Every structure is written in structure tokens, then in C-alpha cells.
Structure 1
Amino acid sequence: MQEVITSPHFKPEEIRGIDFKRLDKLLDETPLPWQDPRSGWKESSITIGIPSGIKTTNAVRRADAATARAAARSETLTEEPPEVLVEGIPFAIPGFWHRSIPGVIRAVFGHDAASRDFHFHPYEQFRTKPDASGEPEAERIFDELYTSRAWLEADAELQQQAQEPGCTRPRAIAAIMLASDSTHVAQFGQAKLWPAYMYFGNQSKYVRCQPQSHAAHHIGYFPSVSFSAGPCFVFVLRSGAAAPLLAHCRRELFQGAWKTLLDDEFMEAYEHGIVITCVDGIERRIFPRIFVYSADYPEKVLIATVRDMGQCPCPRCLVTKDKLADLGSKEDRTLRQQATRTDDDARRARVREARKLIYDAGYVVNGDRVEDVLKAESLVPSHNTFSARLSAFGFNFFRMLAVDLMHEFELGVWKAVFTHLIRILEAHDVNTVNELNRR
């Protein structure tokens, strides 16, 4: 208000007579950019199953699913709810705005001028440096996603697989780099957005990281679970395990959102590719491949379907809390390599067993019987969408979770070390801290 009202350019007569209530109403009624059907955005309803705490038969489950579908159809949605059999008490949560991932790939690779500089084939990069005797020695450089071992291996596998019938087009990878972060959008209040972004590793990081390159493509806005969402959550609130049950519902909602994003269209593209006439004029068959999912720790545990700060707190390995003090040692590196998390049949079987206890036998989410099945590896009783969709192709979703340097190192390790150093200075002499500040 100070900047506007006291500005020398402010003219009171220009706003005299304006009906601000009507203007506010018009702004509320104006569709958001993603609500324009031409933009490729659509709204879906996500149905999750809330554990009832009682034994469930198949007949009851089918009846509940039919009720949930009928309730979902009564919502004002642009998409018919899928015919699914939901475990527990079905509850439809509307308001998941999302875009087709293959649609974004077609738009970027086929029309975006920036894709003219995309790399379609990986390569190894070296530099020459003198060794101990002064002789030139080749050293491998890892600086871009398209010079990584992961892409070289994925490309080799793609080029070796059988061509699509009658297709002789060159095949290339759309290197997907995902990111998501729940964000507060106001300094006061609880207004927040939870966007999901997609980047392409085909683009150099030196361009991709520039804001003016517009390399981040929104693919969805995750909805949130709230106690005010409906009568089902009155049951959650009244139950004896409200907090664990709500956490379970949030996990189910997050995985349900990704199930919508990794839909049949995406799976068709993943297996058979998308024919695109790229900006350089070459018609290619593009295959989406997920390499990286960047997120902070609270979202990593959601993505990896592991427990937040559980007995094995890392989403990538099974190192236990009592071994965390060995971080940085040779023994720690060896242990982490030996205890790498793997999306195998044994992990999926434990999750299925835990869900049967919760949804069929009526045990609570954090009950002792459920803990006996999951606690050893800090798993949670939620099916992982990345596993369900991509494990048949040898995809291990634990490997896509990249190190978060800002949160894990700058705000984690370094901040803790620096705080400890300040305490040492204070213990010596409080004026020493002032000297540190002066320097």
C-alpha cells in the first residue's frame, strides 16, 4: 500500500467509482490457465481406500467401489472415473489438475525451438591430464546426463531391442527429470501449491538451469488430504490412530496421483515410443525414460514409500540409524553399496501382506502385526506406482532419487557442523563469536 498509494504516479480519480467487490468476483470466476481445454490440462478425481478397521469381504468391497464411483460421477469433472476395485472405504478426491506426459514430450521435441540443441544420443567424454610420470592420461568426465553411465546403458538397451513392425526411424530417449515440492504461496495463512515439474536431460544443464530458458514443464498439481474433505475423514479423526491413518491416506493420494500421470498413454510410449518430427526436421521414435526425481526428504519418503525417519531412514539404502555416525568412512561406503534398496518381489510381497492385514483383517495401520512385516526395512503399506508400472522393464525406482544438495548438505550437514563450531566459540568466549562475525 505504501508503494502504491504514496507513489507520485498514483491518481485517485482513476479508481473512483470502481466496484471492487464485483471485480473480485470476476477474478474468482475467471478460469485459471490450466482450466483452458486447449492448454492440455485436465482435472481428474483420485479414489483412495481408507481402512475401515473391520474385516472386509469381496462383496462389501465391490459395493463400496460402486458407491465411490457413483459419488465421483456426481462431481464436476472432465474425466470419467476409472472402473477400479478399491480396498477399504472408497473416497474420491477431486481437483487433481495434470497434463499428459507424452503430450508434453510431443510439444517440446516437435515444436519448442530450444529442442534444436537437444542431445539425442549419449557419449563418453574425456580430458587428457599428465599422470605421475608426466605422461598424458585420459580421465573420464561426468558433467551432463547424456554423458552418464545410466543413459549409455539405457540407450544401448533401446538400440538392441527389436524395431517396431515396419519402422526404420532412428530411436532416441526423452530423458525425463522429475521434481516436486509442496510450496507455500502466501506469507500469511495456509495457502499452498504442490506442483510437479518435468525437465529433459537432453538439454545441457547450463541452459536448463537458466530461468529464461523455461525448461521446467508443469505436469501436475497434487491435491492435499484434509480433515474437512468429507464424512470419511470424520471417521479418521475419531479413530484411535488418526495421525498414522491420515499419513497413510496422504501416501495413497500421492501414489494415486502418479498412477494418473503414468497412465496407459505413457506406458504405450514407454514400450513402443512416440513418432515425432523433431525441430531439426528428422522424424524419430522417442522413448520416455525416467532418470532422476529431485525432491526434499519428506517427499522422497512419499516417492519411495518408506517411513519418515524410520529405522532405515534413507530412501536409497538399508543402513540403520545406529550406523549413521559412520557417514563418510570406507566402511560406510561399503555398507551402503551392500545394503542398496531394491524393488524386488520380496519387497512387494511384504507390502501386499501388510495391506491384507489392514484392509482385509481389520488391523490398524501402525499395529504390531503390520509393524512386524514392514519395520525391518522401514516400509509402509502403500503400493508404489513407479514399481507397479515400470518394474516389468527392470526399472528400480529407488535409484532415481537424486541427492538433494541444498537440504542434505547446505541446510543439513554443513549447518549442523557450523552450529557446533559456534557453540565451541561461545564456550571459549562469547566475544570470539563477535570476532567471527567481524571477520
Structure 2
Amino acid sequence: MLHKEFEQEHLKRFSAERENKRLDDAVNALPGESPDGWSVGSVKLKLPAPKVAVPEVDAPEFEVSGILYRPLLDVLVEAFQSPDFLQYHTTPFDLRWDPKHNPDDPDTPILNVDVPAYTSHSMLKDFNELPQTAEPYLETIIAAYMFWSDSTHLANFGDASLYTYFGNQSKYTRAKPISKAGHHQAYFPSLPDTIIDFYRSLFKVPPSPEILTHLKRELMHRVWDLLLTPEFIHAWVHGIVVKCYDGVEHRIFPRFFTYGADYPEKVLLATIKYFGGCPCPCCYIKKEQIVDMGSKADMRRRSNLWTDNSTWRETIERVRGWIFGKGWLIGGAKVTSNLKEKLWVPTRNVFSKLAEHGFDLFSMFVPDLLHEVELGVVKSFFTHLVRILYCVGIETVDELNRRCD
């Protein structure tokens, strides 16, 4: 209070008794109540049944309640009004490297360093495409959402966490746990076991594995539907005015840049069949072409990317009409044949709500080195090599252990 920059105006109408009571009330929240800043929601899943023809709008529903989540805009405002904002890059820029650095030769080629989000081509493109606002005096900022989740991380508790980071912050800061750059966003519940008895009570038969898998996909996207509120979509298009930590108002446009998850969760998010005809959530590489990985042909195939287009969405709507309206089997030949050789799934992708505003959901999936490489390909490859060594002779395994010591 004795600091020269302290303003006594800040203490007007301040009551220490009132603030202490607020802290006590927050600590003494009753069990079952949502923590401060969190919302508790519920979603309803439409239940299909084979040979039961009923329009989707009239189909029976199963409610999943007690879903904890935080609105996306709340996390944005919290982050940009925190002291971390002083480390945020509010304007993207080109970062270039001149390997030779010859000032006498202006034609020396330079390389773009496309590593941080705020120097990426994607963020520069989005920034240049921002709409002109009615308040030119407000600085416009892109809030680069970067989501990370793991469907196996909290398997012991039955839920998976979703965390939000912002690409406006340096990756070196985000990577430090002490920086607390991750914002807890939501919990994805698993499909309750009670759904089996509920389903049997309605249709006199238990749900098939295909139906349970379908409902798991539906649950994931219904939870995301709680997050993609009309207010958030309005902010996506028109921006949201926030008085940031620097005391200046800015118009912030949220954008989704990356979504990191393990492969089973990516499949749920991309609404493609698990290890199906085209197992990659980013491109149309077929399963039988995976063995060509690293070849020139493979690099050409990777340029054929998934896109969120009207053909895909119309196909899903048509097939869902048959599943509910005609009682077709979800895993039946009629449904599978209409979902193309890529083996799409009959689930509406909630991220398609942003398609009309120029967002392609397939562009945000990024490799998860921990689960897809270190605990995935590399672990399987190394395990197979050890089995080969055991077949050759136990002394080769001892030699491997010696070299790894």
C-alpha cells in the first residue's frame, strides 16, 4: 500500500469482512455442488433400435447428467485478464532465418520458422481474414485455442479431462507445470452402465456393441455441444470485447488451432470408424497403404486431406434418417455401403457448426507423441524386437540390457 503506484481509489467500498466471508463460502461448498466457475449440464442421447422405425425426433432418449464443464468464453476471459496476458503475443508475425546471412546478397534464400502458433502461416492467415469492426480503435486479437485431452488418463475414475491452452503464449512457458498455463475445461463422462438396463426395458433386447459404440460417439459430441454455445459462435464471428490485464479493451476472436488426443479419442472427434478403411483422422490414406509410410507415394497421398463438406454432412443426415426412420442396423450392410469405402460413422459432428464460418474440423488434429509414438508405435516395435532376441538366444537379450544400462 505504500508503493508509489498504489491507488487508494481501489480500496473504495472494500470490506475485508465481506471478502473473508466469500472465501469461507467457497471453501465450505457442499459435496456435490459445482466448483466456482463450473457449470453442471446434462445431455440426451437418441436411442436407435434395429427393426424399430420411428423418426429421430420422436426416438426414445437417455439422459446423461452431472457433466462438469466451463464455458469456453469464461476460460478466454480468465486467461486474458490474468497476469499471463503480459506474455501473450497479440499480433502474429513472420519469423525467418537466414542461414548464410550475407547482407551483400539480398537474394539469399531465407527460411520461415513456423514453430510457435503466433508465427505460423495458419494464424497469420486467420488474422488477415478477421472482419473489419465498427470500433477501429480496438485492437483485434486471435485467441488461439489449443486443446489437449486423454480418454485413458482418468480411466480409473471413469472420466477424461479436457484442458485448454492458448497458442498466444510461448510453448516454453506452456510446457512448464509451474506456469499453470493449462485451463481445466471439461470432463467427458463415460457411457453409464445403466444404459443397458434402460435400453432393454424399452426394446426388450440389450444394445449391440455397434449401438454402444455409436452412443459413445454421440455422448462425446453432445458434451462438446454444451461448450459450443450460441454466445461462443457469435464471438467466433464478431469477436468479444474484453478489458485485458493491461487495462485496455481488445476485441478477441476465438479460433481452434490444435486438438491433441490419443487415437481412440481422435476417432470419436473426427467421427470416422476406428482403424477403418481410412484410419487417419487427417487424410484419406487407406489401411493397406500404411506400409508405404515415408515413401514419395505416401507423401503425395497425405496431400489428399479430409474436409468438412456438404457431401459428407448430407450423407450422414440421410443415413441417420434410415437408421431411425426405417430401423436399419447401424453396422448392417445397407448402412455401411452408404457410408462409403472410407467407413464414415452416422454421427453428426458438432464442430460442423463452425463450417459455415470457414472452419474445417479436420485441420486441428495433431500428432500425440506420447500415446501415438512413445507408447504406441515405438513401444510395439521395441517389444517385437525383444521377442525376436528371445528367439535368437537369451545372451542377445543380456547384450541389449548391457547396452541400455
In the alignment, which residue of structure 2 is the partner of 1:269? 235
- The yes-or-no answer on 1:42 pairing with 2:13 is no
| Partner AA of 1:35 in structure 2 | S
Cα offset, 1:417, TM superposition: 3.2
In the alignment, which residue of structure 2 is the partner of 1:52? 49
In the alignment, which residue of structure 1 is the partner of 2:274? 308
- Identity in percent: 37
Unmatched 5+ residue regions in structure 2? 1-26
- The yes-or-no answer on 1:291 pairing with 2:257 is yes
Cα offset, 1:92, TM superposition: 1.6
| Partner AA of 1:51 in structure 2 | P
Single out whichever of 94-103 and 287-296 deviates more from structure 2. Answer: 94-103
Q: Which of 356, 360, 364 lines up with 1:396 in the alignment?
A: 360
User: CA 1:194–1:335 in 2, change beyond 3 Å: closer, same or farther?
Assistant: same
Q: Deviations over 1:110-144 (max 9, x none)?
A: 2x111111001111111221399x97642221221
The structure with the greater share of residues assigned to helix is 1
- The yes-or-no answer on 1:353 pairing with 2:352 is no
Matched-pair contact (CA < 8 Å) for 1:122–1:152: yes
Partner Cα separation in structure 2 for residue 197 and residue 437 of structure 1 = 38
Matched-pair contact (CA < 8 Å) for 2:197–2:206: no
Cα offset, 1:228, TM superposition: 1.6
Q: Residues 67-146 of structure 1: matches in 2 within 5 Å?
A: 86=57, 88-110=59-81, 112-130=82-100, 137-146=109-118
Matched-pair contact (CA < 8 Å) for 1:46–1:93: yes
Q: Secondary structure at the match of 2:40?
A: strand
Cα offset, 1:167, TM superposition: 5.5
- The yes-or-no answer on 1:410 pairing with 2:381 is no
Q: Deviations over 1:372-407 (max 9, x none)?
A: 1114112100000001x1000121101101011122
Matched-pair contact (CA < 8 Å) for 2:154–2:161: no
| Partner AA of 2:124 in structure 1 | L
Q: Deviations over 1:252-287 (max 9, x none)?
A: 111111111001111111111111111122211001
Partner Cα separation in structure 1 for residue 115 and residue 54 of structure 2 = 55
Q: Which of 331, 336, 339 lines up with 1:371 in the alignment?
A: 336
Unmatched 5+ residue regions in structure 1? 1-26, 62-85
Partner Cα separation in structure 2 for residue 41 and residue 420 of structure 1 = 46
Matched-pair contact (CA < 8 Å) for 1:208–1:215: yes
Q: Which of 112, 128, 133 lines up with 1:156 in the alignment?
A: 128
Partner Cα separation in structure 2 for residue 316 and residue 238 of structure 1 = 40
Cα offset, 1:153, TM superposition: 0.6
- The yes-or-no answer on 1:257 pairing with 2:229 is no
Partner Cα separation in structure 2 for residue 101 and residue 302 of structure 1 = 20
Name the count of aligned residue pairs: 374
User: CA 1:229–1:361 in 2, change beyond 3 Å: closer, same or farther?
Assistant: closer
Cα offset, 1:206, TM superposition: 0.3
Partner Cα separation in structure 1 for residue 322 and residue 184 of structure 2 = 38
Matched-pair contact (CA < 8 Å) for 2:262–2:371: yes
Partner Cα separation in structure 2 for residue 223 and residue 422 of structure 1 = 37
* TM-score, normalising length: structure 2: 0.86
Partner Cα separation in structure 1 for residue 267 and residue 223 of structure 2 = 15
Partner Cα separation in structure 2 for residue 350 and residue 199 of structure 1 = 34
Q: Deviations over 1:284-335 (max 9, x none)?
A: 1001000101100010000000111111111111111111100111100101
Cα offset, 1:220, TM superposition: 1.1
User: CA 1:137–1:131 in 2, change beyond 3 Å: closer, same or farther?
Assistant: farther
Cα offset, 1:217, TM superposition: 0.8
User: CA 1:240–1:98 in 2, change beyond 3 Å: closer, same or farther?
Assistant: closer
Partner Cα separation in structure 1 for residue 127 and residue 96 of structure 2 = 19
Q: Deviations over 1:93-120 (max 9, x none)?
A: 111111111111112112x111111001
Q: Secondary structure at the match of 2:298?
A: helix
Partner Cα separation in structure 2 for residue 42 and residue 263 of structure 1 = 13
Matched-pair contact (CA < 8 Å) for 1:51–1:362: yes
User: CA 1:430–1:28 in 2, change beyond 3 Å: closer, same or farther?
Assistant: farther
Partner Cα separation in structure 2 for residue 54 and residue 416 of structure 1 = 42
Partner Cα separation in structure 2 for residue 248 and residue 185 of structure 1 = 21
Partner Cα separation in structure 1 for residue 333 and residue 79 of structure 2 = 50
| Partner AA of 2:66 in structure 1 | G
In the alignment, which residue of structure 1 is the partner of 2:283? 317
Cα offset, 1:57, TM superposition: 5.0
| Partner AA of 2:220 in structure 1 | F
Partner Cα separation in structure 2 for residue 287 and residue 405 of structure 1 = 29
CA RMSD of superposed structures (Å): 2.6
Matched-pair contact (CA < 8 Å) for 2:96–2:112: yes
Cα offset, 1:54, TM superposition: 4.2
Single out whichever of 165-174 and 282-291 deviates more from structure 2. Answer: 165-174
Partner Cα separation in structure 1 for residue 132 and residue 361 of structure 2 = 25
